[in-house]
């Protein structure tokens, strides 16, 4: 008697495939979807001071002024 292998539906880019999964892949921990409302940013280095005041609004298209030590010489 033939043993039927268990096929699992696997979706990649909106296309469904029937495939066999390895035990390691089948038992993996599912990664949660990222929260689009969460603000996460990794900034390398140390933040020495914050130039914005509490309650001050800013726009993403407006970069902050460069510190005096990083301005180009005239």
pLDDT, residue 71, reads 55
DSSP 60: T
Residue 4 Rama label (left phi>0; alpha psi -120 to 50; beta): beta
Neighbours of 17 (CB within 10 A): 10
What are the pLDDT digits (tens) for 4-55? 678 889 888 889 999 998 889 889 998 888 888 887 777 788 878 888 888 8
Tell which wins on pLDDT, 45 or 59. Answer: 45
């Amino acid at each position: 008697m033939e043993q039927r292998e268990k096929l699992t539906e696997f979706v990649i880019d909106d296309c469904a495939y029937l495939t066999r999964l390895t035990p390691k892949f089948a038992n993996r921990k599912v990664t949660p979807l990222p929260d689009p409302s969460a603000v996460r940013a990794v900034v390398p280095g140390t933040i020495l001071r914050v130039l914005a005041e509490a309650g001050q609004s800013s726009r993403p298209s407006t970069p902050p002024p460069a510190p005096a030590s990083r301005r180009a010489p005239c």
